[in-house]
Each structure stands twice: as structure tokens, then as C-alpha cells.
Amino acid sequence: MKRRPLVVANWKMNKTVPESVDFVQEFLQFLGREPKAEVALSPSFTALVPVGDALEGSPVALAAQNMHWEDSGAFTGEISPIQLRDIGCRFVLIGHSERRQYFGESDGEVSRKISAALREGLVPILCIGETLGERDYGKTFEVIERQVCGGTEGVALESGSEIVLAYEPIWAIGTGKTATPEEAQEVHRFVRGLTASVSGAEVSEAIRILYGGSVNPENMTAIMEMADVDGVLVGGASLVPDSFAQIVRSASH
Ligand code: PGA
């Protein structure tokens, strides 16, 4: 099955509003009119609206880095799926390892967020990945299975309901150390198998599974050659317009 490549920038807690808008203007020039891959930018919450405005009329989608699972209410400091949809977000990252690690996000919270995103018509990007210790102890598949199954518990994935998975080994995030293409493929294949057993072959074949962790223009091509790698989630290298545009171009081959 042919899945359209998806390339998502995760800016994390970087860039002011003017810096974000400048990026968009430069990036769109590098990108050209009709990129073959689907592209999304996840700026900080403060820059979502201006970045959305700057992307108007372009093929690039808007993504948020996190959200709450309730639609509204007394949750000081949180942002709801309705608010994200209201400003034109298409995607939302859920359960990024930094959220799990520094903010204690559990699989239970992740699954509530996934359900809420789907309910409100956002495409959740469920992030999963093992630590170096877990990999060294041979626990990678166990951890991945717990995160995929726990993170989608109670979520009915029918054909047509869109969800994206992102495999990001924690030891590869921001470290300059990537998984080899074969290591990535091994986990991606396992994830596809898991989704097939939970939701059936048709749904599983349609789901895009991204790789993330020190992706850059140099290592991009080899990673994208793997059969079950359908795109990338990019942190550091997505902060620079021409390097991110190069990554998008490599995804299209
Ligand atoms: P990195 O971050 O590309 O800087 O390793 C990836 C991520 O955390 O999504």
C-alpha cells in the first residue's frame, strides 16, 4: 500500500513569533509549490495563530505540540482540542517523550488525549519510544507494545479515522545519534503488526509511522528507504528553513 510521506517539524520551546513567521516565509520559498510529501509545522502555542496565518494558501499544515483531553473548563494553563481546531490545526503531537519524562504524562492520559483529538477531528501523532536502558535490557518491544496499546486503549480505530504513530527512541532525540535504518524498520514493522492485531489489516496498512530522533538532511534518505517508515518527526534540524526543506525533498523520493 502506498502511504503519502509525512514530514513534521517539532520546534519544541523555541522561536518567538517574529522568528516563527520569518521561518515560514523562508521555508515556503525553499519548499516550492507542490511538495510530494505532506508537511506540518508545530510551533509553540504562542506562535500557532501567526504561523497559521503565514501558511495560509500554502500546502503546509499546522500542528500543536500538546493538548488537554477536555473540550473546555477549569484547567488553568491548558489548551483544548476545540481551541486547536478553531485556529486551524490539523495535527497534534501526543505523548512526546519529553512530556512523558518531564511532565509525567502516562499512557492513560495519552489515550484520553488521542480519543479527544479524534473526536474533535484532529489527527493525533502518538509518540512512542524506549530509553537506552530499556533497549540495552532487551525491553524495546515490550515498552513499545505497552505504549501503543496503552495509548490507544478505548480508542476505536475504524478505517478512515486518521492517526499517525511516531517512533522516537529516546536515546536518539537531540543526541545526534540515530537508530540505524534497520533498527528503525524492525520497530516500525513491529508497530504495524500491533496495529493490525488491534484494528485489522486495512487500518494498519493505512497508518503512517514516522521515525524521529536526530533526523537531518544527511541521514534522511537511508531512513526513508525502509518499507515501514512513512515519514519523519524532526526537532533540531527543523529549526532551520533550508535544512528542513531538504528533509522534505528527501522524503518525496
Ligand atoms: P531531534 O528531536 O530531531 O532534535 O532529535 C526529535 C523530536 O524530539 O521530535
- CA 187, CA 130: separation in Å to the nearest integer? 10
Establish whether 68 is a catalytic residue.
Answer: no
Establish whether 153 is a catalytic residue.
Answer: no
Report if residue 52 sits inside a domain: yes
Q: What is the CA(96)–ligand 1 centre distance, in A? A: 10
- CA 80, CA 102: separation in Å to the nearest integer? 20
Report if residue 206 sits inside a domain: yes
pLDDT tens, the chain, 253 aa long: 689 999 999 999 999 999 999 999 999 999 987 889 999 999 999 999 999 999 999 999 999 999 999 999 999 999 999 999 999 999 999 999 999 999 999 999 999 999 999 999 999 999 999 999 999 999 999 999 999 999 999 887 776 679 999 999 999 998 888 899 999 999 999 999 999 988 889 889 999 999 999 999 999 999 999 999 999 999 999 999 999 999 999 997 6
CATH number for the domain spanning 119: value is 3.20.20.70
pLDDT for the residue 32: 82
- CA 3, CA 8: separation in Å to the nearest integer? 15
Q: What is the CA(47)–ligand 1 centre distance, in A? A: 19
Q: Exactly one of 98, 130, 168, 188 is catalytic; which is it? A: 168
Number of domains the chain is built from: 1
pLDDT for the residue 159: 62
Residue nearest to atom 9 of ligand 1 (CA): 235
Report if residue 1 sits inside a domain: no
Report if residue 224 sits inside a domain: yes
Whether the Cβ atoms of residue 227 and residue 197 lie closer than 8 Å to each other: no
pLDDT for the residue 156: 78
Report if residue 136 sits inside a domain: yes
Radius of gyration over alpha carbons of the chain, in Å? 17
CA atoms within 13 A on the CB side of 159: 6
Largest distance between two CA atoms of the chain: 48
pLDDT for the residue 250: 92
Q: What is the CA(73)–ligand 1 centre distance, in A? A: 32
Q: What angle do CA 47, 92, 171 make, to 5 degrees?
A: 95
Report if residue 151 sits inside a domain: yes
- CA 9, CA 143: separation in Å to the nearest integer? 25
- For the residues of the chain, what is the DSSP string, one character each? -----EEEEE--S---HHHHHHHHHHHHHHH-S--SSEEEEE--GGGHHHHHHHHTTSSEEEEES---SSSSSS-TT---HHHHHHTTEEEEEES-HHHHHHH---HHHHHHHHHHHHHTT-EEEEEE---HHHHHTT-HHHHHHHHHHHHTTT----TT---EEEE--GGGTTSS-PPPHHHHHHHHHHHHHHHHHHH-HHHHHH-EEEEESS--TTTHHHHHTSTT--EEEESGGGSSHHHHHHHHHHHT-
Its domain, for residue 244, covers 6-252
Residue 213 Cβ contacting ligand 1 at under 6 Å: yes
Q: Exactly one of 38, 96, 109, 120 is catalytic; which is it? A: 96
Nearest-10 Cα torsion for 186, 191, 193, 194 = 140
Main-chain dihedrals φ then ψ at residue 174, nearest 5 degrees: 65, 15
Residue 178 Cβ contacting ligand 1 at under 6 Å: no
